[in-house]
Amino acid sequence: MRRHRQGDDLSAGVPAYIGLGSNLDGPSAQIQRAFTELDGLPCTRLQARSHLYKSRPLGPQQQPDYINAVAMLATGLEPLALLRALRKLEEAHGRRRSSEERWGARNLDLDILVYDDVQLDTPELMLPHPQMHLRSFVLYPLAELAPDLVIPGHGPVQALRAHCHTPPIERYEEIANE
């Protein structure tokens, strides 16, 4: 997974957890590609990735099921620089925000769930992600990577997952030709 790139200061990296979601244009392939692309961001490496999970959409129901996963990064990018880099990846996957309804179908959604111990409350970036403790499609994959991680004000991921059943979720076994 690791590729050394000259000029990267990897020792300065902090842990950041990214939620990946897709329900259009071959969702599992979109997510797999995004893992590789995350590992290719400047000053960033992919430390770990969860399995893929499948769930019904939260929000408007007239859209395909979602595939979700979580990636753990070590990154030297500041939070806003990371957010902007994630937006570029979303756009490279063909995502066009202006044509989307809120919580509507998308090729790729990349949310920063947790960035080190940073807490932020601005319209552009909220950390930790404000809905993460309520969402099965975040908590199940995140619990694989960081069960003891404490979400400020809510508790450890593993305990939150044990009480979260919305939306119903299952591990997604990859099938060729999806």
Give the footprint of ligand A4P on this chain (CB under 6 A): 21, 55, 57-59, 66, 68, 83, 97, 102-103, 109, 111-112, 124-127, 129, 131, 137, 167
Taking the least distance from each CB to ligand A4P, the nearer of 43 and 169 is 169
Q: Which residues contact 152 (CB under 8 A, 6 or more apart)?
A: 119, 128
Query: Least Å distance between CB 6 and ligand A4P?
Result: 30
Taking the least distance from each CB to ligand A4P, the nearer of 126 and 150 is 126
Interface residue list for Mg ion (CB under 5 A): 109, 111
**14, 62, 81, 109, 122 from 102: Cα distances, Å:** 31, 13, 24, 12, 19
The entry of ligand A4P, Mg ion, none near residue 118 (CB within 5 to 8 angstroms by kind) is: none
Q: Which residues contact 37 (CB under 8 A, 6 or more apart)?
A: 89, 92
Work out whether strand 169-171 and strand 53-55 pair parallel, antiparallel, or are unpaired. antiparallel
The entry of Mg ion, ligand A4P, none near residue 47 (CB within 5 to 8 angstroms by kind) is: none
Structure tokens at 32: 């797999």
Query: Least Å distance between CB 67 and ligand A4P?
Result: 8
